[in-house]
Amino acid sequence: MAKLWGGRFKQKTDRMVEQLGESVSFDARLAPWDIRASIAHARMLGACGIVSKRESQSIVQGLEAIARAAATGKIRWKRELEDIHTNIEAELVRRIGDAGKKLHTARSRNDQIATDLRLWARDQMTAILNRLHDLQTALADFAEEHLEVILPGFTHLQHAQPVLLAHHILAYVEMSQRDEERFSQLRTRANVLPLGSAALAGTPHPIDRAMVAKELGFDSVSANSMDAVSDRDYLIEFCANAALAMMHLSRLCEELILWSSQEFGFIEIGDAFTTGSSIMPQKKNPDVAELVRGKTGRVYGDLMALLTLMKGLPLTYNRDLQEDKERVFDASDTLQLCLAVFTRMIPAIRVNREILQIALRKGFMEATDLADYLAAKGMPFRAAHELVGNIVVYCIQNKRDLISLTLNELQRYSPLFAADVHHALAPKTMVGRRDHPGGTSPKQVKLALQKVRRRLGHSAY
């Protein structure tokens, strides 16, 4: 098969070089975007008189037919033609003849791939934004269904203070909202048309870049042709955003794994999202959460690969850039799959309220409130802290918990303790008293949930 760039060459490309250099085995998935960009380019060539109207029309029809055939898997892409761009062009020439050879006027594969990737990335970001939205909805639903549930809040993975389960879950909604913002901002920032930059310097043909930008839905045209053909910043940002979103999922995965262990027992994950062991009949393993946690590492790898790929690349296009695709495809596919499966898993989580009741009594989580109780009655907080520390030691030595101490026992430590102390130490009271924006009181959490619902109701992608 003749190479599109074969004119200057006398000898055949080495067989191994073809194996090294081909990209159609992975960039074939760009075909729909490549064709879309080519159609816009061909229309512009016709409108600007660079090719005749008839030629332009015939190219557009040929490309549309290729798009249909490709979508149903009817075209076999050829590795010896290197990449998807040359494959499509060769197929076009095969179908419509000489007019097809004019498509590549006023463009290069350098601005072509730069355009394809931006179109592809824009669509992927829209899909990711929708999935982040679905995730937040599932988390908000879960929070709402468990509004009355209190669980131990941790610092250092030690019992710290009780919090509403809904508050804990809404923390992840906040993270996910930031992920959403990042992708949404990137989608806007990256929506710039590189086509027209040609190989690196622009083209002498009288092109109309604004027309192409408009047809392809780009907000503007690139300001510098050299930057445009060699810029992959937005793909690095894409991977960084994906890495952050995966990191957030992974943190929740870690909690679900811990919470479903025998040691915690806070939750049980439904059968559809767990797996058994080939040898231990009793096992029910949280594989989905583990896999998502594990795949976070590979998305970090994608980000590092792109950063490393770009450092030290001189302007402008270098073939190294071909290595960007598999990494960013992987980051996108992995994130989208993980978001989708994770979102489906959330409604399958059953909360074990009885075990949570028991857990709330462990770890002296009333200690801060006990100190605050004394502080509210005039004792300096530092002194109250010290005094409650002593009470905790007493409890440990006598195998007691704070809530079980009688008023008499407490008054041995301070006369400030009064009959209202036990009420102050009930988990419900402790949670209810953190009643300011951002706090865990049921009132505040309900308000936060309403805000989340309002936002989710408004934003659509």
Q: Which residues bind ligand ARG (CB under 6 A)?
A: 23, 27, 83, 109-110, 113, 317, 319, 321-322
DSSP-assigned letters across all residues of 394-425: HHHHTT--GGG--HHHHHTT-TT--TTHHHHT
Known catalytic membership, residue 38: no
Distance in Å, CB of 318 to ligand ARG, minimum: 9
Angle in degrees, CA 43, 47, 49, rounded to 5: 115
Task: Specify whether the CB–CB gap between 308 and 288 falls below 8 A.
Answer: no
Closer residue to ligand ARG (CB): 28 or 392: 28
Closer residue to ligand ARG (CB): 183 or 238: 238
Closer residue to ligand ARG (CB): 198 or 445: 198
What tokens appear for 261 in the block? 């262990």
Task: Specify whether the CB–CB gap between 34 and 112 falls below 8 A.
Answer: yes
Task: Specify whether the CB–CB gap between 273 and 345 falls below 8 A.
Answer: yes
N-to-C CA span, the chain: 44
- What is the rounded distance in angstroms from the CA atom of residue 347 to the CA atom of residue 342? 10
Closer residue to ligand ARG (CB): 27 or 231: 27
Closer residue to ligand ARG (CB): 22 or 180: 22
Distance in Å, CB of 225 to ligand ARG, minimum: 14
Distance in Å, CB of 319 to ligand ARG, minimum: 6
- What is the rounded distance in angstroms from the CA atom of residue 233 to the CA atom of residue 310? 9
Sign of CA dihedral 151, 155, 161, 165: negative
Known catalytic membership, residue 277: yes
Distance in Å, CB of 214 to ligand ARG, minimum: 25
Which listed residue (156, 278, 423, 458) is catalytic?
Answer: 156
Residue 70 — φ and ψ, nearest 5°? -65, -40
Distance in Å, CB of 240 to ligand ARG, minimum: 21
Residue 152 — φ and ψ, nearest 5°? -65, 130
SS (H, E, C) 381-395: HHHHHHHHHHHHHHH
Closer residue to ligand ARG (CB): 184 or 322: 322
Which listed residue (220, 277, 404, 436) is catalytic?
Answer: 277
DSSP state of 433: T
Pairing mode of beta strands 220-221, 192-193: parallel
Distance in Å, CB of 17 to ligand ARG, minimum: 13
The catalytic residues are 156, 277
